Structure 1
Amino acid sequence: MRCILANEKYTGDVIFQKTYTDDSFNRHINDGFLDQYFMPNHHEAIVSHEDFDAVAALISQRATEKGIKRGSKKCQQRYAFSGKIICGECGNTFRRRIHTSKYGKYVAWCCNTHLNDTRKCPMLFLRDDDLKIAFTTVLNKLIYSHKLVLKPYVAALKNNSGDESLVRIQHLERLLEQNTEQRETLTKLMAQGYIDQVLYNSETNALLAQANNYRADIDVINATMTGDSSKVFEAERLLHFAERGSLLDEYNEELFERFVDHIHVYSRQEVGFVMKCGLTFKEMI
């Protein structure tokens, strides 16, 4: 999903043909292969052009400071934990590194302050696989005990929030689920020979575009929601997952990005997963 302040549609303008479909019905980003068309004042604006331009300048400035070029490998090589592991000793973030032991190489996360000067921060590294196991354990505990933990929390939040935005988001989430089911049905129909490839691609592309619109609408609503309303939405989403989910056998990156705001490192033996809904779940390493 694109950030609201990096998408011209929220200023009321629109650029047509950002992507295109080739003869094999594969979707591509249009990097000059076809002409693009700009239409100002296409619809009502949500973000002012001044804010949009200011954010674009800030993004460009930060990229220049970090030596990142648009589309470069450095820009694309980002991990789910990047920028989300916070040191409990100094407050700095952790950096991903490859460590080597007599048993082979492994991924580790290290406090940036400690790496620069061990005297300023004593926090030692954490193994990537240990963090993933800890997160999986947290989710499994929530799946098992959601009635005792999440349901009372959601009820308490709702008593303090009556924002109509939540109703709209819940409706859009249901539409997204229906959209996914429709795409799965199309796949089954094509596999069974009831529809041809051309019709399948056409209908699937239409559903994907519709799903993107739903997600964009959710982004807009989230951006205007108050803190309490946003917590209600995130708590309900986590509860919805826990109610329907089965115990996890392995780490799921998509679930981490969906539910976790950041990881607070208390020590090498204990971390806290600070959820977007406002709850923090401590887990031993």
Structure 2
Amino acid sequence: MVNPEQAEIVKYIFAEVLSGKGTQKVADDLNQMGIPTKRGARWTATTIRGILKNEKYTGDAILQKTYTDSRFNKRTNYGEKNKYLIENHHEAIISHEVFEAVEAALNQRAKEKGIEKRNNKYQNRYSFSGKIICSECGSTFKRRIHSSGARKYVAWCCSKHLKQITECSMQFIRDEDIKKAFVTMMNKLIFGRKLILQPLLEALRGMNKSDNLSRIQELEKQIEKNAEQRELLVKLMAKGYLEPALFNRENNELQMEANNYMEQKEALIHALNGELSKVQEVSNLIKFTNKAEMLSDFNDQLFNDYVEKIIVFSRVEIGFILKCGITLRERM
């Protein structure tokens, strides 16, 4: 027998998804309204998807969706065993037409996100996924499908803004606008490489040859001197010229000093390697811009080769943080 209250919730879920809402948004709305699940728990996107894929709400029943293997373990039936459909098994809450329309919408959304149906893992990530950062709250942007009349387009939205609009006011930006801005930015680099990239390369090379290298050399001398002092302490201790307590105190101080020198040296080497890496990135970019013709279309490979992150300053201005260490702003 159908529970009227639960039936209304099921109808609401199907209607919301058909209106264009994602499963996470529907779950968030139900939680915000204070409506618990059948078991009294909070709603999740997984719970919503489970309802949307359950044929029992159409009045049908599929038998043997799970089976027990030879070791008595319960398993989901992905085709290993026959399944049996019994139509009009019980009273329906949702029509077959609505159920099929929702299934088509979910399949389309999964296709757009590059999700494999069975294991629910991303198969082909988009170039911008995880790389767009909100300047207001620091959250990453999520890919969404927006509608403008009959036309649909891809947009990127701040995840915090989506979850709680009062915590971040940053609005969405269009996928096509980001791509156009990237093309403009790359064309500026191609045209003005001698004014932008060459001075950056010379500055980075100058940094490599100066402060860090000389500081590393100074630390190596101090580490060597520290080692000689500890060796002398050991000799004095061995000959009985030092009390054990004094030896331990002096040796511990020298050891702490040596550790400090080593940490500084490692940090400088790390920084130096970072600068060398940036030198290589700038060199690669210069090689590309020297040979490249002006771009007319967005290129995924070029974006992944040279861009580390995108920072969104507003709906009309973004910054491309390049792997070589510079950030170039573009208006959209």
2:200 matches 1:153: yes
1:262: how far off? 0.2
- Which 4+ runs in 1 deviate beyond 6 A? none
Extract unaligned runs of 5+ from structure 2: 1-114, 210-269
RMSD over aligned Cα atoms: 2.3
TM-score for both structures, normalised by structure 2: 0.45
2:149 matches 1:102: yes
Residue matched to 1:233: 280
2:128 matches 1:84: no
Please state whether the residue corresponding to 1:106 is helix, strand or coil: strand
Out of 112, 117, 121, the position equivalent to 1:74 is 121
- Map of 1:1-285 to 2, 5 A cutoff? 72=119, 74-161=121-208, 226-285=273-332
The one-letter code of the counterpart of 2:293 is S
The one-letter code of the counterpart of 2:203 is A
The one-letter code of the counterpart of 1:155 is E
Distance 1:142 1:116, change over 3 A: same
Distance in 2, matches of 1:72 and 1:254, equals 27
Higher relative contact order (CA 8 A, sep 6+): 1
Distance 1:81 1:225, change over 3 A: farther
Please state whether the residue corresponding to 1:96 is helix, strand or coil: strand
The one-letter code of the counterpart of 1:93 is T
Report the count of equivalent residues.
158
Distance in 2, matches of 1:113 and 1:260, equals 23
The one-letter code of the counterpart of 2:154 is V
The one-letter code of the counterpart of 1:97 is R
Larger Rg: 2
Cα-to-partner distance string for 1:210-234 (whole Å, 9 max, x where unaligned): xxxxxxxxxxxxx997111111011
Extract unaligned runs of 5+ from structure 1: 1-67, 163-222
Distance 1:224 1:75, change over 3 A: farther
The one-letter code of the counterpart of 1:75 is Y
Kept in 1, the 8 Å contact 2:208–2:272? The answer is no
The one-letter code of the counterpart of 1:85 is I
The share of aligned pairs that are identical, in percent, is 48
Distance 1:224 1:74, change over 3 A: farther
Distance in 1, matches of 2:123 and 2:150, equals 30
Please state whether the residue corresponding to 2:330 is helix, strand or coil: strand
